[in-house]
Amino acid sequence: MRISFRAVGRVQGIGYRWFVKETAAVHCLSGWVRNVSDGSVEGEAQGPVPELDDFLKTLKTGHICAGVEKMETQELMDSGAVEKDFYIKASI
| Edge-first strand listing for the sheet containing 86-88 | 67-76, 2-10, 41-46, 30-35, 86-88
- DSSP line for 21-76: HHHHHHTT-EEEEEE-TTS-EEEEEES-HHHHHHHHHHHHH--TT-EEEEEEEEEE
Q: How many residues are there in the chain? A: 92
Cβ atoms of 34 and 89 within 8 Å: the answer is: yes
* Whole-prediction pTM: 0.93
Catalytic residues: 17, 35
Q: What does each of the 92 residues of the chain score in pLDDT, given as a tens digit?
A: 999 999 999 999 999 999 999 999 999 999 999 999 999 999 999 999 999 999 999 999 999 999 999 999 999 987 666 778 999 999 88
2-88 adopts what CATH topology?
A: Alpha-Beta Plaits (3.30.70)
CA-based nearest residue to 44, from 75, 15, 11: 75
Task: Fill in the amino acid letter for 3.
Answer: I
